[in-house]
Structure 1
Amino acid sequence: MATYIVGDLHGCFDELQLLLKQVNYDPKQDELWLTGDLVARGEKSLECLRFVKDPNNNAKTILGNHDLHLLATLLGIKKVKPNDKVTAIFEAPDREALQNWLRNQPLLVQHPTHKFLLVHAGISPEWNLAETLACAKEAEAVLQGEMYADYIAQMYDSYPDYWSTDWQGIERWRYIINVFTRMRFCYHNKRLNFACKLPIEEAPCELTPWFELNNPLFAEQEIIFGHWASLMGKSDKPNIYALDTGCAWGNHLSMIRWEDKQIFTQQRLK
């Protein structure tokens, strides 16, 4: 039995299949985990959703910002971006089933055996492990509740950009969602910055990648994340694994086999 974790798919279904073929993935024995952003930009977002949803494939995912945006567009809260190439999802006979399945996926997973944390974007530099797990469960309950559409309608804001236990309601929920699905850089005082998407070496000096800030959790815990394609799989931290390598942007799809930490890649097909 092997545990495989794959970076952001973004509709790159064919590349995923070739990657799994490389390792002779066997869903009856092996596990497959994904870092979120199953959809948008690649041509086969619908196929990616169906593959991960199918229990026969033994695949599990967490939610990314593009997955949440898909939910917002399916609800009519936001307009579809033509570059996302998700028309097939809107026309699919199983659209509603896919929508309900997607919103019930977690924001964070702690692997039951290996204990690594799997998250799309990152973990707040203000949280310890207990807070991280509790905040994930709190926001997941909102997304899985009856009023989830009302919360998603209020999701699109970058405030608050710092953590406080005093936050309640939408402000608290929005900070949690933004950390797990959008975060890249922080200021030195641990406030979040959402504007900068530059490679680390080109970023302003007042900004630091979230995983380089002083938080004991980042030094003690193995963390796997996606979201940040310009890192191209490099975090320079031995226990922090970046798996988004920009397949949908013409680069490659990356996968790690957890037991021996071997990396497998599949180049973008077209």
Structure 2
Amino acid sequence: MSTIIISDIYGNYKKFIKFKKTIKKYNKYLFIGNIINNKYESLKIIKNIISMKNNVKIILGNNELHLLAIFYGASPFIKKDVLNNIYNSKEKDKIIDWLKNQTLAMYYKNFLIVHAGVLPQWDLQKTLNLAKEIKDILNSNKCFNFLKYIYNNYNKKNIIWNDNLSGYNRLLCINNALTRIRYCNSKGLINFKKKKNKKKIIPWFKISWRKTKDINILFGHWSNFKLIKTKNIFCINNGCAWGGKLTTIKIKNQKIIKIF
């Protein structure tokens, strides 16, 4: 079965349609987060993706989590949001239920696939198990409390991972890693203030003792790097949101395709 992976569309319907016309021969599509926001046609894109049913899988990114938080009243709209068309849609309940049943990580055809990254302390199975913890709480009666906590604290509390972490601090750390991480220090503490500590921080995938260093990992999120394709690290966010090309990768032969 042919599969193609797409990263960070950010509501750009024009490029999404160009993608669908260009890539016709694939029967599985995997979107790795941030399919919405930034452009005003997010509703068209998400409805189109949902209509693909069993032919599509998605990984949740920080923008999908943000939409969930807005829906549940756990976070306000922010100035740059362009999510009103989804929020005011008659189909928003269906969209929200669909998003809640997606995951933050999967292992597919010998690739660990996430939106942003993985903490160096985690191995493959740990990453998949922790992603399930987020999915489970999104589908529980604690969903609002979880979303409220992460949006009140994601830039205030920076927590280093240990297996004994519990409660909402544990979930905050998992969420920040899978949907927001870029840099961390040599001990594996996520750093969101890279400009102040440039000499002491490292891209998460360059940590020498990372437990997933022998695993193929595919992610998006990080448009500053444009495109990374090394031995087993693939970042395919080519800055579509900021005028760059929408980039996809054929999972079978690892061939990069830039749409336009």
Q: CA deviation at 1:152?
A: 0.4
Provide structure 2 residue ranges, at least 5 long, that are not aligned to the other structure: none
Whichever residue aligns with residue 230 of structure 1, its letter is N
Q: CA RMSD in A?
A: 1.8
Change (3 A) 1:92 1:149: same
Q: CA deviation at 1:56?
A: 4.3
Find the aligned partners of 2:75 and 2:61 in 1 and give their Cα distance: 16
- Equivalence for 2:213: 219
2:45 paired residue among 36, 48, 64: 48
Q: CA deviation at 1:65?
A: 0.7
Find the aligned partners of 2:216 and 2:75 in 1 and give their Cα distance: 35
- Equivalence for 2:13: 13
Count of aligned residue pairs for this structure pair: 257
Find the aligned partners of 1:203 and 1:60 in 2 and give their Cα distance: 37
Query: Where in structure 1 do 4 or more consecutive aligned residues deviate above 4 Å?
Result: none
SS at match of 2:119: coil
1:84 paired residue among 78, 81, 85: 81
Provide structure 1 residue ranges, at least 5 long, that are not aligned to the other structure: none
Whichever residue aligns with residue 182 of structure 1, its letter is R
Is structure 2 residue 241 aligned with structure 1 residue 243? no
SS at match of 2:121: coil
- Compute the TM-score of the two structures, normalised by the length of structure 2: 0.93
SS at match of 2:33: coil
Q: CA deviation at 1:146?
A: 2.2
SS at match of 2:224: helix
Q: CA deviation at 1:79?
A: 1.8
Find the aligned partners of 2:25 and 2:221 in 1 and give their Cα distance: 24
Change (3 A) 1:41 1:203: farther
Task: Encode CA deviations 1:94-123: one digit per residue, 9 max, x unaligned.
Answer: 011111111221010111xx1211100101
- Equivalence for 1:140: 135
Is structure 2 residue 119 aligned with structure 1 residue 124? yes
- Compute the TM-score of the two structures, normalised by the length of structure 1: 0.89
Is structure 2 residue 203 aligned with structure 1 residue 209? yes
Q: CA deviation at 1:247?
A: 0.7
Q: Is the 8 A contact 1:160 1:171 kept in 2?
A: no
Q: Is the 8 A contact 2:183 2:203 kept in 1?
A: yes
Q: Is the 8 A contact 2:150 2:172 kept in 1?
A: yes
